Structure 1
Amino acid sequence: MTHVVITGGSSGIGLAVARIYVRRGYRVSLIARGAAALEAARIALDEARDGRVHIATADVADAEAVGAAIRACEAAAGPCDILICSAGIVTPSPFDAQAPADFDRQIAINLSGSVHAVRAVYARMCARGQGRIMLVSSGAGLIGIPGYAAYCASKFALRGFAEALRSEARPKGVTISICFPPDTQTPQLERERAARPAEAEVIMGQVKPWSAEHVATRLVRALDRGRFDVYFGLTLLALGRLAPLVRPLIDRYFDRQIRRLHRVTEP
């Protein structure tokens, strides 16, 4: 039976992905920091009480903890066939106002946390000659956004990691994918918006938030088809495919929009 491991699986996109795989009858393991949220997710998912859903607590920024959590899940449900790296945080702030610890924490969870999870399953996937890995980046991994320097850095870096790993993994039978969701209707989005700078909204407000279920459906479909990169909507598709060619035009457009915003808000 296929075993899916999902980091950040207790809420948001990760939990929505878990619902899809549970409905398929797969074994699903959820990894997150909060034990109470994980247990609530397990109860909600494992309605048949047949032991298909497993949970393990770990901070993905801690490589040893992630490795131990995944090994525990594999001991209970078998080798990991599909890994979804969905754990992430965002703490908006102008770069010069953000505490270094808050900046570093976003890198540690969003980038290093994904790397730690991949490292925990990758060698065994290669040895079996099969496996699928999905890295969850963000629309902020396609365009720089004021107030999101740390978050953008972490999500842009995931693409470089995914592209390099894809080339290494493909001959070994392991499929690497990366997706770039827009704002998604999750508890984290509500917290983030409370701290989002107005300049960021000029850019991020161009794309309407998606539901976690809609994002999850597209993500799983892409994994089924073995696609490498996954975009959500025409705006993010255009950014993903064309932004390097038209970057000066994009920058000038948003620079003008932000200047207008400042003129409006000046006393």
Structure 2
Amino acid sequence: MTHVIITGGSSGIGLALARIYASRGARISLLARTLPTLEAAHSELTKSGNADAIRIESADVADEGQTAAAISRCEEAFGPCDILITCAGIVEPGLFEVVSPDAFERQLQTNLFGSIHAVRVVYAGMKQRRAGRVMLVSSGAGLIGIYGYTAYSASKFALHGFAEALRSEARPHGVKISVCFPPDTETPQFTRELEHRPPEAAVIMGRVAPWSSDAVAGRIARAIDRGDFEVFFGWTLWALGRFGSTVKPFLNWWFDRAILRISRSR
């Protein structure tokens, strides 16, 4: 039976993915920081499936020790990880000079190193078995820098680079590495994010309606099934991913003009 480990699996995209794999009869391990939210996710998933096939672990992925211990317990209970999906992430918008050093580092530690910590625990076993799939969840903000998102964009750009390099290392050993770039997605975190999003950022991010977490999760699951490396959502992000060096100069010119108009109107 397939063992799927999902960090950030208690809500949003992670929980939507858990529903998909639960419907397929997989063993599912969910990691997240907040135990009550994890318990609510466990309760939902077990209503339509086998409670013995769902495991939850409260851990902060930014902490390497917590992550390693939690994933090790999951593998002891359900066997080696077949699919790892790193959904855990945080976003705290704000201008660079306003965001505190702690908040900046927290986003890097969670979004980038949180994924790396999780991969490190399962990667050696996957190589040894010559099988395994890893899906790293980046963001559209990992394809183009967003006003007011210096920390978040930095973490998500870096995650893309990590995925590209690891893909080259993992491929000869039968391990498939993927990275996806979701757009704005209807999640509890997105609701909180909008309260702090600078109006200038809406020029870039607010012109496309957010996707549902179920729609994003469905595309991610299909990409894992196919073994796709990069997963884009909508033609805009696809164009950025495929032709970024060509289209970004024009986009940045247009964004700069729009941001300047907003600044002058204040």
Q: Does 2:94 correspond to 1:93?
A: yes
Deviation at 1:206, TM superposition (A): 2.5
CA contact (8 A) 2:144 2:248 kept: no
CA distance in 2: counterparts of 1:43 and 1:52, whole angstroms? 12
Q: Output aligned runs, 1:59-98, within 5 Å.
A: 59-98=60-99
1:27 paired residue number? 27
1:109 paired residue number? 110
Deviation at 1:245, TM superposition (A): 1.7
Counterpart of 1:128, as a letter, is R
2:173 paired residue number? 172
Deviation at 1:250, TM superposition (A): 1.4
Q: What is the CA deviation profile of residues 203-232 of structure 1, one whole-angstrom value per residue up to 9, with x for unaligned ones? A: 001322000000000000000000000000
Gaps of 5+ in 2: none
CA distance in 2: counterparts of 1:168 and 1:206, whole angstroms? 38
CA contact (8 A) 2:115 2:136 kept: yes
Deviation at 1:239, TM superposition (A): 1.0
1:17 paired residue number? 17
CA contact (8 A) 2:138 2:160 kept: yes
CA distance in 2: counterparts of 1:195 and 1:240, whole angstroms? 27
Deviation at 1:154, TM superposition (A): 0.1
Deviation at 1:243, TM superposition (A): 1.5
Q: Which structure 1 residue ranges, 4+ long, deviate > 2 Å from structure 2?
A: none
2:135 paired residue number? 134
1:220 paired residue number? 221
CA contact (8 A) 1:207 1:235 kept: no
Counterpart of 1:112, as a letter, is F
Q: If the length of structure 1 is used for normalisation, what is the TM-score?
A: 0.98
Deviation at 1:95, TM superposition (A): 0.1
CA contact (8 A) 2:240 2:248 kept: no
CA contact (8 A) 2:127 2:174 kept: yes
Q: What is the CA deviation profile of residues 10-58 of structure 1, one whole-angstrom value per residue up to 9, with x for unaligned ones? A: 0000000000000000000000001111111011001234411001111
Partner SS state of residue 92, structure 1:
coil
CA distance in 2: counterparts of 1:170 and 1:151, whole angstroms? 28
Counterpart of 2:175, as a letter, is V
Q: If the length of structure 2 is used for normalisation, what is the TM-score?
A: 0.98
CA contact (8 A) 2:240 2:247 kept: no
Deviation at 1:60, TM superposition (A): 0.2
CA-atom RMSD in angstroms: 0.8
Gaps of 5+ in 1: none
Percent identity between matched residues is 61
